[in-house]
Structure 1
Amino acid sequence: MRIALLAPLPPEQTGIADYAAHLRSALRELGLEVVTPLEGCQDLSEQLRRLQAFDWRGVNLVHAELGGGRFGEFQALEYLRRAQPQLPLTATVHDPERLIWRRAKLFFPLNALERLPPPLPQAAALLADPLTLHEERRLAKGMQRLITLTRLGGDCLRQRMGLRTEQVAVIAHGNLSIAPVELPPLAPLRLLYFGFIYRGKGIEDLLQALARTLTTHPHYRAQVRLTLAGGSAPEMTFDPAGNYLDGLRQQIAALHLSDVVDWQLDLPSADIPHTIQAHHVMVLPYRESKKLGFLGQMRGTSGALSWANACGRGVITSNARAFAEEVAGGNGITYRQGDIDSLSDALNRLLLDPHQVRQWAGTAADIGRQRQWNNTAQRFAELFRDACKEPL
């Protein structure tokens, strides 16, 4: 079987690019041929020219990765739906309940608002949303399969896009096979934030919650450490509001946390497992975007959470997205997103009873083994074969 994969790929620094690279490698190990006609190209016009020049003869199926605020893959599927109607189309939807959430280009006169100060660009996207949703539904209904990473995401996508039950499948986020490593000694308790470091991840909430915990229980100060680890690409950390990393450092100093917070920025891929396994629990304090809330509910998951399972470590996570489903098996706990007191309470309970990280770690390791990429790729291969057998 020859698959055309439309997706961002490394060296692009996104979780979806990493996901696509692992999926491509795992599918090839199963004997499937995977070609990537858009690899390395981010210009929308050039992407369209590549699609037009590509020889689609011999391609059995096209699979795309949708999400992360990207438009190219959606545009490519729209083009192929019209130009190559004989090809089955599938996609993993990383940010359900929508496919792209907003259009790449707004029409006149709304496009004039994009160049004006906030909140006018956001207002323009909201005014264009009925058309965006129409285009998303039109494409979604013409797809053979749409895959989500969680059941909640699949249910929300199916309902919002008006899809048939059989059009949506759930395949959990795959992860690498990581050799198990025992938990470190429980003192000090080592907390880890892992992921791309930019605004919207709730890192400020985590710092404030930890400060409140240490203010209430000052004797814990020598018993806990927090590491902030992950990517810090300039386009993510520099924005009109200033340098985000500098802002975090200033907040850490203001909260008197400099002696308990460590940094591991721009972590090489080879060092990720060791870094995670050197800690007891991962903390993911994500908040849902209030701006996106006007357009729908984001019910995706996190690549960082997949890494925690792969490395056999539990998580404390907010109840944003579909995280509650991801820890329902006993590999961690959730707290109310944006509620700093709730997160502080979770940290307090963990410090009072640190042994619970052993149970979380054991369950996470079991989940990690079930979701290794070789098993995940097998499920994709079966789905692709079924999709190819169905009439278009």
Structure 2
Amino acid sequence: MHIALLAPLPPEKNGIADYAGHLKSALEQQGVTISTPLLGVGNDVDKALERVAQWDWQGIDLVHAEIGGGRLAEFNALRELRRRFPGLPITATVHDPERLVWRRAQLPWPLSMASGMPSPVPQIATVLADPLCLHEERQLARSLTRLITLTQSGGHALRKRMGLREEQMAVVPHGNLLIPPAPLPPLEPLRLLYFGFIYRGKGIEDLLDALTLTFAQQPALRSTIRLTLAGGSEPEMAFGPSGGYIGQLRQRITQAGLEGNIDWQLDLPAADIAKVIQAHHVMVLPYRESSKLKLLGTQRGTSGALSWAVACGRGAITSDARSFAEEVAGGNGVIFAQGNVAALAAEISHLCATPELAQRWSEHASLIGSQRVWPHTAERFLKVFAAACTEH
């Protein structure tokens, strides 16, 4: 099988690029030939459309795309491909259901005049233009042969919002690397880990506030808990730059008197990720839903960080944002209401009081991780691709 993969790929710094890189490698190990027509165009729509026009599509059995994170290059390339080749099997992994991309590359006139105006005028213009964006997303989604989501809840949300047929849908859980198991570190101090790209909207402030509240309620725990903030400090963001966010976090930590409980592991080399995760007991992901995106829909994606957690055999405390509740429903963690600092503090305190939870979560996470290794995930994708080709 010869597949054209439309996706960001490393060294681009975002979660979808990491995912696509692993998927590409896993499929190639299954004997699939992969071409990457958009390699190097970044998120430039004009360059993507130029590549579509110049590429020789003869001999391509199927086109597969990774869509999400506001990636407009792949979205518009798919629209053009579907226009040119109505019978071509096209599939896509949708990383941010219930929408495909959530925004247009350009606002239509006269709303485009708002782009250079002060906030909140551009945001209001985006909301006013959203019916057009939603129409274009639905038009493309309904023309695709298969749409793949990482969770059942994400698939349900996508199908409902895009008006899709049941037979168009498939669920393939997030793949993960095969990581040799490692025992939990000694239970004292309790080592918590935030892992992922570090930018606004991940709820990191809530985690710091929950730690502060925990120590205020139980001062004796100050000597028994450590938190590591680890991950990429300069992600390529579709919804705005991180600016001086790291500095703001450091200032918040100092003001809260948490310096003695916080460790940093910024811009981890890929080779060190598993070692760092397995040096901790539990991953904590306190994500919040974006207040801006709430105006446009409900985000039901998942997290590459959670995939790393199960791969490394570690449980997770997560908010109920996105599809996290489904991802920890296998006995590998617990959820709390997003933005509820007291609830997160209570979960941290409960874990301190019953540290055997970390061991139980770890065992369940290891089982899930063994079922989702990339070779198995590639096999699941190949079944979806085969069905898509047969249908066309």
SS across alignment from 1:128? helix
The residue that corresponds to 2:9 in the other structure is: 9
The residue that corresponds to 2:117 in the other structure is: 116
**Distance in 2 (alpha carbons) for counterparts of 1:231 and 1:240:** 13
Deviation, 1:86, is: 2.8
SS across alignment from 1:59? coil
The residue that corresponds to 2:347 in the other structure is: 346
The residue that corresponds to 2:194 in the other structure is: 193
SS across alignment from 1:65? strand
Deviation, 1:175, is: 0.3
SS across alignment from 2:260? coil
2:70 maps to 1:69: yes
The residue that corresponds to 1:154 in the other structure is: 155
2:326 maps to 1:325: yes
Deviation, 1:122, is: 1.1
**Distance in 2 (alpha carbons) for counterparts of 1:170 and 1:375:** 13
Deviation, 1:201, is: 0.4
Q: Structure 1 201/240 Cα, relative in aligned 2: closer, same or farther at 3 Å?
A: closer
**Distance in 2 (alpha carbons) for counterparts of 1:212 and 1:130:** 43
> Structure 2 stretches of 5 or more lacking a match?
none
| Partner AA of 1:178 in structure 2 | I
Q: Structure 1 384/240 Cα, relative in aligned 2: closer, same or farther at 3 Å?
A: closer
| Partner AA of 1:306 in structure 2 | S
The residue that corresponds to 2:335 in the other structure is: 334
**Distance in 1 (alpha carbons) for counterparts of 2:36 and 2:9:** 9
Identity percentage of aligned residues = 61
The residue that corresponds to 2:146 in the other structure is: 145
**Distance in 1 (alpha carbons) for counterparts of 2:145 and 2:71:** 21
**Distance in 1 (alpha carbons) for counterparts of 2:348 and 2:49:** 50
Q: TM-score, normalised by structure 2?
A: 0.98
| Partner AA of 1:311 in structure 2 | C
SS across alignment from 1:76? helix
2:277 maps to 1:295: no
**Distance in 2 (alpha carbons) for counterparts of 1:370 and 1:291:** 36
Q: Write the mapping of 1:1-392 to structure 2, written as runs, cut at 5 A.
A: 1-42=1-42, 43-233=44-234, 242-391=243-392
| Partner AA of 1:213 in structure 2 | T
**Distance in 1 (alpha carbons) for counterparts of 2:27 and 2:93:** 15
CA contact (8 A) 2:197 2:235 kept: no
SS across alignment from 1:262? strand
More moved, 111-120 vs 301-310: 111-120
- Give per-residue Cα distances to partners, 1:300-345, cap 9 Å, x unaligned: 0000000000000000000000100000111000000000011011
- Give per-residue Cα distances to partners, 1:98-154, cap 9 Å, x unaligned: 001111111111111111121111111110111111111111110000000000000
**Distance in 2 (alpha carbons) for counterparts of 1:209 and 1:165:** 42
| Partner AA of 1:15 in structure 2 | G
**Distance in 1 (alpha carbons) for counterparts of 2:95 and 2:2:** 23
| Partner AA of 2:24 in structure 1 | R
SS across alignment from 1:259? helix
SS across alignment from 2:80? helix
User: Number of aligned pairs?
Assistant: 391
| Partner AA of 2:355 in structure 1 | P
**Distance in 2 (alpha carbons) for counterparts of 1:69 and 1:206:** 26
SS across alignment from 2:317? strand
Q: Structure 1 326/359 Cα, relative in aligned 2: closer, same or farther at 3 Å?
A: same
SS across alignment from 1:193? strand
Structure 1's consecutive aligned runs of 4 or more residues displaced over 2 angstroms after TM superposition are 238-242
> Structure 1 stretches of 5 or more lacking a match?
none
Q: Structure 1 233/374 Cα, relative in aligned 2: closer, same or farther at 3 Å?
A: same
Deviation, 1:242, is: 4.9
SS across alignment from 2:287? coil
**Distance in 2 (alpha carbons) for counterparts of 1:319 and 1:336:** 5
Deviation, 1:235, is: 5.7
| Partner AA of 2:21 in structure 1 | A
SS across alignment from 1:114? helix
CA contact (8 A) 2:234 2:242 kept: no
SS across alignment from 2:259? coil
